[in-house]
Amino acid sequence: MPITPQNILAHEWIGLQVTVNASRDPGLTGLLGIVRDETRNTLLIEARNRLVRVPKANAQFIATLPTGEIVPVEGPLLTHRPEDRVKKGLANQRPSPRKPYQLSALTCTIIQNTADTKGGEARRWPTTRPALLQQQATE
């Protein structure tokens, strides 16, 4: 999946060109380079022929995507392990398999009573709730 402004937080940043737009450390502000490594709390940026470790929590970044788009990103939004951020972020963008709908005992009773009052055949809904199973056994 290509990196876009909408999913930039769900991608790894290694290889992206970034600029440190703002930082608590004035020496890091304006730093322009390529991300060479990423940890939970820092980005390792190659700039000016040296490697500079920039804390994510105290900075604001401007990322330049491979398409040339420029995206500002708040550092605290990146403070997760990169592999976890990628896993969680991409999972949120894919449709998840449908989970089986679980009915409560009250809902099953209401459906049962509605079917009975309409003169139709009463339905027995499968459930694992002991109270409902006992109620159905006594009917």
Domain assignment of residue 120, given as a range: 105-138
Q: Is residue 99 part of a domain?
A: no
In a domain, 123, yes or no: yes
Q: 119 falls in which pLDDT band (50, 70, 90)?
A: low
Q: How many domains does the chain have?
A: 2
pLDDT of residue 88: 72
Q: Does residue 98 sit within a domain?
A: no
State whether 22 and 84 are in the same domain. yes
Task: State the average pLDDT for the chain.
Answer: 76
pLDDT greater at residue 108 or residue 14: 14
Give pLDDT tens digits for 17-57. 999 999 999 999 999 999 999 999 999 999 999 999 999 99
Contacts of 131 (CB under 8 A, 6+ apart): 105
Q: Is the pLDDT of residue 111 over 70?
A: no
Overall average pLDDT of the 94-123 stretch: 46
Handedness of CA 119, 121, 122, 127 (dihedral sign): negative
